Amino acid sequence: MKEDISAVDFLDIINIVKLQYGYDFTGYVQASLKRRILRFMSRANISTVFDLKHRLVNDSELFTRMVQYITVNVTEMFRDPRFYRTLREEVLPKLAAYPNIKIWHAGCSTGEEVFSMAILLQEAGLLSRTKLYASDLNPMNLERAATGIIPLDNMKDYTYNYIQSGGLADFSNYYTARYDNVLIKKELRKHINFFQHNLVTDTVFNEFQLICCRNVFIYFNRELQNHVLQLFHDSLSPRGYLAMGIRESMRFADIHKQYETVHGQEKIYRRK
């Protein structure tokens, strides 16, 4: 028999987390969040929802572990190579017109996408005048991202992705391999500022020419999608770019009229 969390219990959990720890998951898609809470319970040997609630109220360390489990921390370098090719060919040449470039990676997880962006900028000769802001709600992801360390096992796939994205350099120039890990070169990382930002509860903090928020909207319901799209709208300079995941769509959000489509297939939009 499959365990389940009733609608009432689910709301209770959301409320405890919100009131006690300030993380608001109200607008998250329920099916996947429930699934991940159940997965956390089984991993933490918590057998009933009652126990989970009780422990969440009394044990902040348990909450820290739960955040790690219920947020999705999967990422890849140069995921969807064609998207990066489009950035290279169509977006970066436009950004080159700005004397100083500011880019925000919202929901950066452990940093793989922002490292990829730094490589693109380097190859376009733009990195030295770009500031990259990379945020996530999960502090453990940010700690990891700031180290610049990536498991060596992944590099074969990433090298393949990099080449597919139109990369012409030797990919291994961008990192140093040591034992089972690689370290992304400091020259790339020094342009990146990692910091905690929660798209649900935090507000505008700067103005950007490009915001990348890929595969984050899939976890938000429509109301929250609209809220975040408004936040991005307010954070973009006029005619600034927004990139979403290639299977995410703005057409189901009310706010889509405030954006124009630059590249429909790769989900690159522009603030009107």
> 234 phi and psi, to 5 degrees?
-70, -15
Distances (CA, A) of 20 to 6, 15, 210: 21, 8, 34
Q: Does 2 bind other proteins (CB under 8 A)?
A: yes
Nearer to other proteins, 15 or 159 (CB): 159
Range list of β-strands (E), 107-207:
130-136, 149-151, 175-178, 181-184, 192-196
Nearer to other proteins, 1 or 97 (CB): 1
Nearer to other proteins, 101 or 108 (CB): 108
Stretch that binds other proteins, among 47-55, 133-141, 176-184, 210-218 (CB under 8 A): 210-218
Q: Does 30 bind other proteins (CB under 8 A)?
A: yes
Segment 214 to 233, residues that bind other proteins, using CB under 8 A: 215, 217-219, 222
Distance between CA atoms of residues 115 and 133, nearest Å:
11
Amino acid at 169: A
Identify the bridge partners of residue 241 per DSSP, sorted by sequence position.
Answer: 210, 270
Distance between CA atoms of residues 89 and 221, nearest Å:
32
Three-point CA angle 215, 87, 145, nearest 5°: 50
Q: Does 82 bind other proteins (CB under 8 A)?
A: yes
Helix (H, G, I), strand (E, B) or coil at 266: coil
Segment 157 to 196, residues that bind other proteins, using CB under 8 A: 157, 160-161, 164
Nearer to other proteins, 36 or 233 (CB): 36
Stretch that binds other proteins, among 49-57, 91-99, 194-202, 240-248 (CB under 8 A): 240-248
| Binding positions for other proteins, rule: CB under 8 A | 1-2, 29-32, 36, 72, 74, 76, 78-82, 157, 160-161, 164, 215, 217-219, 222, 245, 247-249, 252
